[in-house]
Amino acid sequence: MRILLSVGDRGKAGNYLMYLKDLGDVEIITFDSKIPDGDYDLLVLGGGEDIDPKLYGEVVRYENVEVERLRDDFEFELVERFLLRGKAIFGICRGFQLLTVFFGGTLYQDLEKEGFKPIHRGKNGEDVEHRVIFSGVFENYFGLEGIVNSNHHQGLKGFPERLKGEILAVSEDHLVEAFYSKTYRVLGVQWHPERHNSPISKGILSFLKLI
């Protein structure tokens, strides 16, 4: 399998490379690069900055919203190209949020300010673990619930109907944590499997081999 990994900083790609190595050969790309013409099997969208709220019809509402519009536009083009070629796409954290917006969904710009529990990011910006409830194919893989790691302050608000997908996981405070579209071969998770050595992280890799 040939994998194209989009990240904001090549220097922070190590965890992704270690995580994805069992799937195949990984090539890193950043938004200041030219999109390659290679025949890839999977696009992986990594974590990073917030998505520009203008892309889902809002303005920046909070001081802690940090965007990189060039990266948003670049990754939108990547997603379009992979969809046109019928190739699989996997979004992690920011990548999950970018796919949400690409397919017409909206985001909470700051979870705690909008009423969610402080379970999605540590007080000092570190990863935290929390429980999720699984459904659909993830329930088949992982059972009814499991523990994942998170480090984000935004989340899915309006489900992306154009995705034609299903919700695979929700947090205990009812935030959508994962979705999958068989139609478009798109999987997204809000947590960071590349930084969490768990059966769930390993199971996601197994699932990616099949989509």
Sheet containing 2-6: give its strands across.
25-29, 2-6, 42-45, 88-92, 186-189, 176-181, 166-171, 128-134, 145-150
What kind and span of H or E run contains 208? helix 199-208
Question: Which residues lie across from 186 on neighbouring strands?
Answer: 89, 181
- The mean pLDDT of 10-22, rounded to a whole number, is 95
Residue (of 39, 2, 102) closest to 91 by Cα position: 102
pLDDT in the model for residue 124: 75
How far is residue 78's CA from residue 4's CA, in Å, rounded to a whole number?
A: 10
Bridging pattern class, strands 166-171 and 176-181: antiparallel
The pair of structure tokens assigned to 92 is 């992690």
Model pLDDT for residues 49-63, shown as the tens digit of each residue: 999 999 999 999 999
Whether the pLDDT of residue 37 is over 90: the answer is no
Q: 24: pLDDT confidence band, cut at 50, 70 and 90?
A: very high
Q: How confident is the model at residue 140 (pLDDT cuts 50, 70, 90)?
A: very high
149: which strand partners?
129
When computed from its CA atoms, the radius of gyration of the chain, rounded to whole angstroms, is 16
185 backbone φψ class: left, alpha, beta (φ>0; ψ -120 to 50): left
Inter-residue contact 197 to 148 (CB < 8 Å): no
Active site residues: 93, 192, 194
Amino acid sitting at position 182:
K
Amino acid identity of residue 39, one-letter, is: D
Residue 120 vs residue 14, higher pLDDT: 14
Residue 206 or 116, more confident: 206
| Mean of pLDDT over the chain | 95
Q: What is the mean pLDDT of residues 140-145?
A: 97
| Predicted pLDDT of residue 73 | 98
Query: What confidence category does residue 64 fall into, taking pLDDT thresholds of 50, 70 and 90?
Result: very high
